[in-house]
Chain A
Amino acid sequence: MTVVIVITVVAVLALALGVGVWVGLALYTAGIVGLALFRNMPIEKLLPQLSWNVVTTPELIALPMFILMAEILFRSKMSDSLFTGLAPWTTKVPGRLLHVNVLGCTMFAAISGSSAATAATVGRITLTELFKRGYNKDLAMGSLAGAGTLGFLIPPSVILIIYGVLAEASILKLFIAGIVPGLTLAFAYMAWIAFRAGLNPSLVPSEDLNATWIDRFVGLRHLWPAVFLILVVLGSMYGGFASPSEAAAIGVVGALLVSGAQGTLNLDTFGRAALGAVRTTSMIGLIVVGAYFLSIAMGFLGVPRAIANGIASLHLSPFMLILLLLVFYAILGCVLEGLSAIVMTLPITLPLVLQAGFDKIWFGIFLVIVVEMAQITPPVGFNLFVIQGMTGEPIGRIAWATIPFFLIMVGLAITITLFPGLVLFLPENITLRG
């Protein structure tokens, strides 16, 4: 019987998604059809109650706050000041200004919680500058697409907030756990850029770009908006002064101050930022409520237990299980956008992984790396779309240029599976309020 139920629910979901029904509504539909066919339940009472419960979860408030903050900063001079401040520091490293992509994304990721917003904000100025100066286009676009995904891994992170709400894990601990893997990833990207540029100097123009140490330190003054916001947002959280949602709200005020100081705050940008935040909040919100309803419905239908039993009968080692999930998510990530892929599979994969002896916080970080991979795999990859929007290059070429960075992510996913301490050391040894 359970096999029939599993097949029906998956088929309805796949069919709805395949036809092009909006992800949130497709999740609802699959849950409704499953319950209507196999369980005698008052769906019209269950549906609104569950939707109401999840959408009023206090932790979810951080979501629109971080989104609004990114929307405001996208319309400020943040990207210019990051470029001016960081560029002099890269003149002696092989690959030179290409590293600004990674450094800029790392800094912006510590302010923003979204990957596409990070790629869009940083890339707006770096891509123009790199193309103009004759840097290799593929390396410039690939490193931006890859580094943009740091927005999800380096806290704050929209994905970690949603994972924390759905998996009932501490968002603050998740945020702390993302730091080391995030910085490792940034370092690996820079190492790859330096390696490529060292091997093939023609990728980088031979312009005479010199900067003295005085230039470098004087240039640092351009970084004040980024440093100020990192201190405000991360400082208030890690200082034990504010919860993630509170830090995000303070961050909105900080972003408004920065935008005001840079002279980019007017009624037009303000209105556009607000409506942009509404669009993203609503888009993510609909997916989250749909996913929550489907996960509860699947629980009633006994789907997670059936699949867990099925997988258990395969007698996989924990490492093989994770490897299997990595392949599964990599394939799913080609078809689905990362957030949707996670929320619709979480009710099944989370119990599986916990049963295999992995930590909830650890799995959150693993999933974020997986979403990041989905973010840059065609045909559906938001970061690729963002870069396509900025450069007009075909998706295929951008995706091709991104492959090395995709492989670096796969490497990181395997590394944290072999050494979970990389993720868990910080959250286990830092105790914080909240």
Chain B
Amino acid sequence: MRTLLAFIDGTARIGAYAAAIMIFAIASLIVAEVICRALLNISLSFAWEFSAYCMAGAVFCGAAYTLRTGGHVQVRLLSSAVSPRFQHWMEVLATAVGVVAAGFLAHALVTFAWLSFQRGAVSPTIDATPLVIPQSAVAFGALLFAIQMAARLVRLLIGEPADDEEPRRSFSVE
């Protein structure tokens, strides 16, 4: 079980690195576009399109890691007013709802990417990018997110800390 949880954490971290690379890719693409337009007077039409795909990929691929490190926003109003025992079970309930919601989201996004693949859907631009490529990244991220949510439920049930607090201390900008 521990090995499995550690493995899931590993996938979340890989997702986060992928998301970080995509964010830097956006910066590079946009800067390249600006330079080309200003100096060479050519517009890199794909820069904006690919940046938008990277944005979509970054949001979803980073979601599992963000969940693991306690980065997603939760309302903790009620839970701070009640006993630790009750608080624990609220946490379990919230995470259980989270498993269902994130699971449905992952299911829907995977089907979405699969349908794009089957239909051979391409973007309505001159680059005609096969949409399955960026949509797979999004579906993959959503899947990692749902799995991490399930792992969180397991952690809560076996009494392990649900959030990895270490990065929160070093990333003080929220």
Contact = CB atoms under 8 A, between A and B. Distances in A.
B71 A277 contact: no
Contacts of A198: none
B173 A23 contact: no
B58 interface: yes
Chief secondary structure at chain A's binding surface = helix
Interface in B59-82: 59-60, 62-63, 65-67, 69, 71-80
Contacts of A95: none
A348 B37 CA distance: 41
A133 interface: no
Contacts of B74: 20-23
B65 A278 contact: yes
B91 interface: yes
A19 B93 contact: yes
A249 B23 CA distance: 10
Interface stretch (A58-66, A168-176, A312-320): A58-66
Interface in B97-112: 97-98, 101-102, 104-105, 107-109, 111-112
A279 B68 CA distance: 10
Contacts of B60: 55, 282, 285
A429 B155 CA distance: 57
A380 interface: yes
Interface residues of B, number: 61
B97 A16 contact: yes
Given A21-B98, A29-B97, A56-B52, A283 B30 contact: no
16 contacts: A19-B90, A21-B94, A25-B97, A25-B102, A44-B104, A64-B26, A65-B30, A242-B34, A250-B31, A274-B24, A275-B20, A276-B173, A279-B174, A282-B72, A286-B63, A340-B73
Contact of B58 (A64, A71, A121, A336): A64
Nearest to A75: B173
A52 interface: yes
Interface in A154-174: none
B3 interface: no
Contacts, number: 214
B138 interface: yes
A221 interface: no
B98 A22 contact: yes
B51 to A, nearest CB: 5
Contacts of A272: 170-171
A389 B63 contact: no
A19 B97 contact: yes
Contact of B104 (A32, A61, A241): A32
A279 B20 CA distance: 9
B174 A386 contact: yes
Given A275-B167, A282-B60, 16 more contacts: A19-B94, A20-B79, A48-B112, A52-B135, A55-B55, A55-B138, A56-B52, A61-B48, A64-B58, A246-B30, A276-B171, A278-B58, A281-B23, A283-B73, A379-B77, A386-B174
A120 interface: yes
